[in-house]
Amino acid sequence: MARSFFSCPDVYFGDEAITALSQFNDKRVGIVTDDFMVTSGKTRYLINAMPQASVCIYGEVKPDPSVDILTAGAARFKAFKPDVIIALGGGSSLDAAKGIKVTLEEYFNEGPIALIAIPTTSGSGSEVTSYAIISDPQNGRKYPLISAHLVPDVAILDPNLVLSVPRAVAVDTGMDVLTHAIEAFVSTGASDFSDALAEKAIALTWRYLPQVFNDEKDITARTHMHNASCMAGMAFNAAGLGLVHGMAHAIGGMMHIPHGKINAMLLPLVIDFNSKQASPETRDRYHRCARIMGIEHAVPEQAIALMTQAIRQINRHFGIPATLSELGTDRAKIAGLRTALVNAALADGCTASNPRQATAQDVAALIDHIAG
């Protein structure tokens, strides 16, 4: 079957990127965001770039958005009838905006509505992906919706918007970028195109995330991390992800742990798991990841072991715990959810492109390990 690599959205980046909004000056613009973006003046920053636009704001997105947020957001915009929806915020606001746009188009017969994504964390890559991760809090599940309709038309990467991200959120979201890039690089769907983006995203993240941690106001490091996040998003959108994300959606949905943090915790465990009994190609790919991270060893197994050790070290340096019990999660709760977690991780769409097929027993063993 012919494979394709997408050419959408238009990506504007750098210090002046926000001026790209002037093209919407004569439009009806709905902004989907959270309360912090409104109170901290970030919505005003956007409006100043398109002063003639007619604007309506839905500012009630919460982390890990649920279907209720999609219906409430769509109801807010129903009478306003936006030509354009701007998604402003972290992955949660971006995914909520995608869901709201599709709800308006498909259930309220509006549209078509243009979608502009303006990320304010360097993490999800949602500004360039066909994914929206929607939570079902009643059942404690997170579902990746995947459709070409969810790819934004325009992405604006303005590093000024990420300077206020607190250190703890910056490292969680930054480790999400590293996980996207490594999982895309070893995925069964990897190609020359996704490799190019994944390799660069690994190199940029490994170099600049510690710099962001050392100095939150380092605009050069923030800019490179923002670009890396977008590149990693392009890579996994084309190649798919793997078992880290499959398990992270299951654990994050049931235990409400920030997405990047649980990915960071799982990443070294899953690399260990995948690289045992790995095909020569997967072993070679992990070996190349290690080299990109500056870890040189002629024996692939040794290089991979040094790489997982380096990831564990950087997690510790960033204050990210190694296990759920270190994070303070009740052991009895994990034991009670064990079977549900295994089933949710195996059913998750991201698990399908993991380079090593995992059995229920394998996933249960990994859950016991991460439980601590």
Q: Examine residue 63 and tell whether it contacts ligand NAD (CB under 6 A).
A: yes
Query: What Å distances lie between residue 227 and 4, 198, 199, 245, 343, CA to CA?
Result: 22, 12, 13, 21, 35
Residue 7 CB partners (closer than 8 Å, separation 6+): none
Instruction: Region of 198 please: left (phi>0), alpha (psi -120 to 50) or beta.
Output: alpha
Count of residues binding Fe ion (CB under 5 A)?
1
Closest residue by Cα to residue 233 from 149, 117, 155, 125: 125
Q: Beta partners for 135?
A: 66, 142
Tell me the window of 4-12, 85-93, 104-112, 304-312 that interacts with ligand NAD (CB under 6 A): 85-93
Residue 165 interaction partner, one of ligand NAD, Fe ion, none, beta carbon < 5-8 Å per kind: ligand NAD
Residue number, 198 or 290, with CB nearest to ligand NAD: 198
Please select the residue that binds Fe ion; options are 64, 95, 176, 183, rule is CB under 5 A. 176
Q: Examine residue 125 and tell whether it contacts ligand NAD (CB under 6 A).
A: yes
Q: Examine residue 259 and tell whether it contacts ligand NAD (CB under 6 A).
A: yes
Q: Examine residue 348 and tell whether it contacts Fe ion (CB under 5 A).
A: no
DSSP 24-69: GTTSEEEEE--HHHHHTTHHHHHHHTSTTSEEEEE----SS-BHHH
| 84-89 and 28-32 beta bridge pairing | parallel
Rounded to the nearest 10 degrees, the angle between the axes of helix 360-371 and helix 243-255 is 60
Among residue numbers 222 through 251, which ones bind ligand NAD (CB under 6 A)? none
Q: Examine residue 353 and tell whether it contacts ligand NAD (CB under 6 A).
A: no
Q: Examine residue 121 and tell whether it contacts ligand NAD (CB under 6 A).
A: yes
Q: Examine residue 59 and tell whether it contacts ligand NAD (CB under 6 A).
A: no
How far apart (Å, rounded) are the C-alpha atoms in residues 106 and 109? 6
Q: Examine residue 118 and tell whether it contacts ligand NAD (CB under 6 A).
A: no
Q: Examine residue 342 and tell whether it contacts ligand NAD (CB under 6 A).
A: no
For Fe ion, the binding residues (CB under 5 A) are 176
For ligand NAD, the binding residues (CB under 6 A) are 34, 36, 63-64, 89-93, 95, 120-121, 123-126, 129, 131-133, 142, 161-162, 164-165, 169, 173, 176, 259-260
